[in-house]
């Protein structure tokens, strides 16, 4: 068994996630993996689980947060 890097649970069905930069972690659930590895919105701090919005080197959960922080003229919907 392995121990989850996030919560410390000793669990027989853990999995390892390795990112493109070689960072890796062992997790017992996708919830723990997302909490540990997902980016946070540069404006509101929420976990960005979807595509998000990138402006320069900052990641945002939505265009509203990107606009509020950077002034970028972005929108979440068309029309």
Q: What is the pLDDT along the chain (79 residues), one digit of tens a residue?
A: 799 999 999 999 999 999 999 999 999 999 999 999 999 999 999 999 998 999 999 999 999 999 999 988 887 776 6
Strand 58-60 and strand 53-55: the pairing is: antiparallel
| The pLDDT value given to residue 75 | 77
| The pLDDT value given to residue 1 | 79
| The pLDDT value given to residue 79 | 63
| The pLDDT value given to residue 64 | 93
The Cα–Cα gap between 32 and 42 comes to 21
| The pLDDT value given to residue 46 | 95
3-state secondary structure of 44: coil
| The pLDDT value given to residue 76 | 74
């Amino acid at each position: 068994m392995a121990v989850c890097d996030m919560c410390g649970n000793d669990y027989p069905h853990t999995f390892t996630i390795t990112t493109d930069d070689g960072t890796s972690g062992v997790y017992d659930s996708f919830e723990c993996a997302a909490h540990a590895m997902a980016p946070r919105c540069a404006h509101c701090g929420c976990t960005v689980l979807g595509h998000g919005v990138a402006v320069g080197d900052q990641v945002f959960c939505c265009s509203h947060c990107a606009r509020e922080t950077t002034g970028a003229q972005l929108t979440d919907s068309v029309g």
